[in-house]
Amino acid sequence: MGALHQGHIRLVEKSVEENDYTIVSVYVNRLQFNNKSDFDNYPVRHENDIKMLESAGCDLAFIPETSDIYPEGYSKIKLDLGSLNDVLEGPLRPGHFDGVVQVVYRLFDYIRPDRAYFGLKDYQQCQVIRLLRNAFFPGITLQFCPTSRTETGLAMSSRNERLSAEGKAKAATLYKVLDTIVRLSRHIEAPDALLYGRHMLSEQGIETEYLELAHADTLQKGKKWFRKGKNVVLVAASIEQVRLIDNIVF
């Protein structure tokens, strides 16, 4: 959605390395926002974005108008998200994933790429996009790439621009908590590890919406550790009125 950072650029560079032609779409999709003020405050930096994309070797920046994506008379597609809409982000952000489905469908339909690259910071969104691909675009290969982080561990996000220096330092606690839970998983049961993680967040005065263990494939919550490689711990929290999400898979 623009306001590009080095995490986005790493996706672009990976595409440039692996493909003959790289297209990057930049579009702030109103349908993904269930909070109007969040949409109104979302940073737009098209000039800077284009410069960054040129430097990264992008061949084409696709920056459509809303009328291009949702022309008059456009009918929404329907996709059953099943349980993905009932857990974690689903109940907290009504309509968000439907907005993701609509815009990604339109972008895939416009561009018809061989491969599409997404960052795993938005883990649940990646699962939604996988369902969309399976239903409508089976020929597209999806590349889900590791979350890019700052030196402090903070997941790179356009929303970080709205944080003060103190807020960014505080936000780095999210990754510290996730990393601590991974280490604790070798010694204690999942509920106790999550309880300690919530305590760490509370100690920093961080308002948390959830900190949960789920199965990496289904996102169904777990009370016990899953087998290696199938655990994902996800967190959503607000710092300085900026909503942040992060996750770790192990």
pLDDT in tens, 42-95: 889 999 999 999 999 999 999 999 999 999 999 999 999 999 999 999 999 999
pTM of the model: 0.93
Q: Which residues of 39-52 are buried (b: 16+ CB within 10 A; e: fewer)?
A: eeebeeeeeebbeb
Q: Which of 145, 167, 199 corresponds to the end of one domain? A: 145
203 Cα distance to chain centroid: 26
- How big, in percent rounded to 5, are the helix, strand and coil portions of the chain? 45, 20, 35
Q: Is 92 found in the same domain as 59?
A: yes
Question: Does 151 fall in a domain?
Answer: no
pLDDT for 37: 84
Compute and round to an integer the Cα radius of gyration of the chain. 18
pLDDT in tens, 167-200: 999 999 999 999 999 999 999 999 999 999 999 9
Q: For residue 36, is pLDDT > 90?
A: no
Q: Is 180 found in the same domain as 115?
A: no
Element of type H or E holding 10: helix 6-18
Question: Does 91 fall in a domain?
Answer: yes
pLDDT for 41: 84
Average pLDDT over residues 11-38: 94
Catalytic residues, by residue number, are 8
pLDDT in tens, 10-22: 999 999 999 999 9
Q: What is the CATH number of the domain that holds 172?
A: 3.30.1300.10
Q: Which of 124, 145, 166 corresponds to the end of one domain? A: 145
* Alpha carbon distances (Å) from 45 to 1, 42, 49, 63: 10, 10, 6, 12
For all residues of the chain together, what is the average pLDDT? 96
Is the Cβ–Cβ distance between 44 and 27 less than 8 Å?
Answer: no
Instruction: Judge residue 22's burial from the number of C-beta atoms within 10 Å of its C-beta, 0-12 exposed, 13-18 middle, 19 or more buried.
Output: buried
Domain extent for 100: 6-145
Q: Is 13 found in the same domain as 80?
A: yes
Is the Cβ–Cβ distance between 206 and 237 less than 8 Å?
Answer: yes
Would you state the structure tokens that stand for residue 248, as one six-digit string?
A: 């770790």
Instruction: Judge residue 142's burial from the number of C-beta atoms within 10 Å of its C-beta, 0-12 exposed, 13-18 middle, 19 or more buried.
Output: middle
Counting the structural domains of the chain, the total is 2
Q: What is the CATH number of the domain that holds 55?
A: 3.40.50.620
